[in-house]
């Protein structure tokens, strides 16, 4: 099962403070489904625009169909946006 890290307030808001969990799934979409079964309501936030996903160190902006290995590390991150100084 993939190791999933919920960054920011996701773990606190949806997972009772857990920030690292192991869930089954061979794609990001399937990981999100498994997480939503365990933590209802989290899927809407993970699929929202502005979330990036890092799989084994590679960051994706549109990652739902990306493959995930059984030993992968997956991080859900709020996307970094540019701004004006």
Assess whether pLDDT exceeds 60 at residue 85: no
Assess whether pLDDT exceeds 60 at residue 83: no
How confident is the model at residue 49, as a pLDDT?
Answer: 67
> 18-67 pLDDT, tens per residue?
999 999 999 999 999 999 999 999 999 888 767 889 999 999 888 888 99
In CATH terms, the fold of domain 2-60 is Ubiquitin-like (UB roll) (3.10.20)
How confident is the model at residue 77, as a pLDDT?
Answer: 86
Token pair for residue 15? Answer: 């997972």
**For 76, what's the count of Cα atoms within 13 Å in the CB-facing half-sphere?**
29
């Amino acid at each position: 099962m993939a190791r999933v890290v919920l960054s920011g307030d996701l773990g606190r808001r949806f997972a009772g403070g857990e920030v690292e969990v192991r869930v089954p799934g061979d794609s990001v979409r399937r990981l999100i489904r498994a997480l939503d079964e365990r933590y209802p309501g989290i899927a809407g936030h993970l699929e929202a625009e502005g979330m990036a996903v890092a799989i084994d160190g590679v960051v994706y902006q549109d990652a739902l169909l990306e493959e995930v290995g059984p030993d992968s590390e997956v991080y859900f991150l709020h996307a970094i946006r540019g701004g004006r100084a």
